[in-house]
Amino acid sequence: MKIVRSLAPIQASKPAVTMAIGCFDGVHRGHQQVISLCREQAAREHAETWVLTFDPHPLQVVQPDRAPKLLTNLTARLDLLRAQGIDGCMVIPFTPEFSKLNPEEFLNHLISHIPDLRAVVIGDNWRFGRGASGNVDLLRKLSRSYNFHVTVAEPVLLDGAVISSSRIREAVDAGRLADAENMLGRRHALAGRVVDGMKRGRHLGFPTANLDLHGYALPPSGIYAALVHRDGHAAQAGAVYLPEGNTTQPGLLEVHLLDFAGDLYGHYLAVEFVQKIREDNLRFEHEADLKQQIANDVATIRTVIGALP
């Protein structure tokens, strides 16, 4: 997959391009439907399939107080998009200056860098341009001047309600991991580089890698069975600790990799949440009791991960 990290000319192997546009946070089943339609359109047009996305999330720039907790960082989003079988991805830096472009200016910039844009594929609620003033009707009107086709994907439903990034965030926040998995089409996972921590786990004989996931959608506090991908390696079992009432380091995730010994600082970990095994509501007077409970948790997690298909 080719990646263009600006509003810049696309180097396509075919003369024509079809483009799916959106934030694609989570690359959930609704997003996958948009991209699938884009691939189908590209096949009809003998064109390349591209995705246009933004980084950071637009609300982080224009209304930071309303910015959502993200489901994926950019690296994970690109990996998920690559798995959709697209030819390329244009990542537009969403800056305050870019946010001031009106819908016509945005399309002018896009067309100037993709002269043979054959089709744009979007979800039915996609908005564009300054103040989110552009909608599907305006895009269709402008497309006639620019000579490209507009395809609007039908919403994908689960239990009668539309699958959306915000709905998935709500499920994760409430700890309904199975619901999130059904909407994502995979387990909810978060990724980042290992940062320095307080080394409490090492002292207890269960060293943990610490990920700073402030600003991302974390499930409620507790202990979770997880699958951990280290620098792209095959998954291995992990025990995730999300402390209750964490006010000193909000957004910190601690994960102990079972049967692993080594230095993980600076390594990139992707953590799939498999199952919550207990609440973080036990208190221990003696360190030995805490160590025993952690050993019990690890044994439970081995059973949970071992039972996965």
CATH superfamily for domain 2-162: HUPs (3.40.50.620)
Residue 22 pLDDT exceeds 60: yes
Phi-psi region of 182 (alpha: psi -120 to 50; beta: other; left: phi over 0): alpha
What was the pLDDT predicted at 105?
96
CB within 8 Å of 162: residues ≥ 6 apart: 30, 155, 156
| pLDDT the model gives residue 201 | 60
How far apart are the C-alpha atoms of 191 and 119, rounded to whole Å? 33
pLDDT at 183 over 80: yes
Count of Cβ atoms closer than 10 Å to residue 285 Cβ = 7
Report pLDDT for 202: 64
pTM higher than 0.85: yes
The mean-pLDDT minimum among 60-74, 96-110, 153-167, 241-255 falls in 241-255
According to the model, what pLDDT value does residue 200 have? Answer: 66
What are the distances in angstroms from CA 81 to CA 12, 77, 168, 171? 17, 6, 18, 22
Of the given ranges (52-61, 175-184, 256-265), which has the lowest mean pLDDT?
Answer: 256-265
Whether the predicted pLDDT of 3 surpasses 80: yes
Where are the chain's structural domains? 2-162, 188-306
> Residue 108 has what pLDDT?
93
Angle at 111 between CA 108 and CA 112, to 5 degrees: 80
Of 103, 89, 113, 92, nearest in space to 136 by CA: 103
Cα separation, 226 vs 40, in Å, equals 35
**Average pLDDT, whole number, for the chain?**
94
> d(Cα 172, Cα 180) in Å, to the nearest integer?
6
> Which CATH homologous superfamily contains domain 188-306?
Riboflavin kinase-like (2.40.30.30)
pLDDT of residue 203: 57
- Predicted confidence at residue 246, as pLDDT, reads 64
Please tell me which residue, 232 or 284, carries the higher pLDDT value.
Answer: 284
